[in-house]
Structure formats: structure tokens, C-alpha cells
């Protein structure tokens, strides 16, 4: 298997891992399921209530193959990638892709402090049949109704990401953006 590579450096993808362990999920809609937890090192925040400060530093640098092998050894269908803030490490996305491709039911525990627009657009396009910027920002995420200004600010990035997902060109992207801006203007009063 060819290892995933960081596109900016062509180096093999790898992650600093605090711990990998097997337990019963105690949160979310999968409460009670046997789950493998992959805890990545590091977090840019310092919440006063944090119960995992030990994951702020240390850990072991591991290849994705090594992490996948460790996860497989537990024989569980559920995997939770947590931290720290897992998205603070660029190669976390590559790990999530590997886990999904391998058929695991994957959860990501994130603080929400880092941008997940790309993941939201990909999910909306691939799993929720979003075919327009309005689909993503109004019908799927409800962003337009929650905060029209923020939705408007996100629209150019969403249009670009959706165009890439749907393999559309610049003319389609510009038209989508214009149509959404026209729609959003009605919610700014």
C-alpha cells in the first residue's frame, strides 16, 4: 500500500498519538458500543474544565499503517478519534479517510474551534445530495437561518468546495455564489 503523503511536503502521513485504547463509549448516539479510542496529542485551547490535559504534549509519532494495525487488533467496528483537538494535526483527515474506507463507523470528537467547512460540504454533497450552495448553507446546515452574515461570509469557500466535489467549473461557481448572495440578502434586514 502506498502511504498517504502530505501534499505540501510529500512526506508520509503520520500523527502524534497520545494513546489508543478500547472501551465502552459513554457519549453520543453510540453510547454503550464497544469502541476503539485514538487519542491524538495536542490542543490549541486550554479550557479550564479540560479533563485530558495529559494529551497536550508527549505521545508517540506513528504512521497511519501503525495506527490502523493497532485499531484492527481490538476487533471493534466503532472508532472514535479524539484528543486533545484531533483536527490540530493536519494528517488527522487522512486517518479519518483510512478508517472510513476500511469500513469502521467513525466518530470525531472536536472542540469545533477549527474550521470543518470542507468536511461539512463533502458530507452534504456525498451523503445528503446537496447540489447547490443554498442546499449546503440553508437546507443542510441551516446556517442561513441561524446567522445570515456568517453564512454569506462562508459562501465563497462553500461554493469552491462544492464545485470541487461536483466537478463544476468557474461559471457554475460564480452563478451559485450570486444566487446565494441574492437569497441571503433577504435575511440581512
Binding residues for ligand SF4, per CB under 6 A? 43, 45-47, 50, 52, 83-85, 111
Q: Which residue has the cell 442561513?
A: 144
Q: Which residue has the cell 461554493?
A: 159
Q: How far apart are CA 61 and CA 91, in angstroms?
A: 12
Minimum distance, C-beta of residue 16 to ligand SF4, in the bound complex (Å): 14
Residues 16/60, Cβ–Cβ less than 8 Å:
yes
Cβ closest to ligand SF4, residue 84 vs residue 160: 84
Q: Provide the 10 A C-beta neighbour count for residue 48.
A: 4
Cβ closest to ligand SF4, residue 42 vs residue 160: 42
Minimum distance, C-beta of residue 174 to ligand SF4, in the bound complex (Å): 37
Nearest to 154 by CA among 136, 128, 175: 136
Q: How far apart are CA 28 and CA 99, in angstroms?
A: 19
Cβ closest to ligand SF4, residue 46 vs residue 167: 46
Q: How far apart are CA 25 and CA 34, in angstroms?
A: 6
Cβ closest to ligand SF4, residue 45 vs residue 73: 45
Minimum distance, C-beta of residue 71 to ligand SF4, in the bound complex (Å): 21
Minimum distance, C-beta of residue 18 to ligand SF4, in the bound complex (Å): 10
Amino acid at each position: 500500500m502506498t502511504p498517504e503523503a502530505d501534499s505540501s511536503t510529500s512526506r508520509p502521513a503520520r500523527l502524534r498519538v497520545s494513546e489508543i485504547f478500547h472501551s465502552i463509549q459513554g457519549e453520543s448516539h453510540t453510547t454503550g458500543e464497544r469502541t476503539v479510542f485514538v487519542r491524538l496529542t495536542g490542543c490549541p485551547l486550554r479550557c479550564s474544565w479540560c479533563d485530558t490535559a495529559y494529551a497536550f504534549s508527549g505521545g508517540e509519532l506513528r504512521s497511519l499503517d501503525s495506527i490502523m494495525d493497532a485499531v484492527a487488533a481490538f476487533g471493534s467496528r466503532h472508532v472514535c478519534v479524539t484528543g486533545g483537538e484531533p483536527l490540530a494535526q493536519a494528517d488527522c483527515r487522512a486517518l479519518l479517510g483510512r478508517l472510513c474506507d476500511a469500513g469502521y463507523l467513525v466518530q470525531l470528537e472536536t472542540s469545533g474551534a477549527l474550521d470543518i467547512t470542507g468536511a461539512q460540504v463533502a458530507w452534504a454533497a456525498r451523503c445528503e445530495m446537496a447540489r447547490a450552495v443554498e442546499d449546503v448553507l440553508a437546507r443542510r446546515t441551516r446556517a442561513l437561518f441561524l446567522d445570515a452574515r456568517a453564512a454569506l461570509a462562508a459562501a465563497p469557500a462553500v461554493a469552491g468546495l462544492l464545485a470541487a466535489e461536483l466537478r463544476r467549473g468557474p461559471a457554475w461557481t460564480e452563478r451559485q455564489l450570486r444566487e446565494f448572495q441574492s437569497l441571503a440578502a433577504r435575511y440581512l434586514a
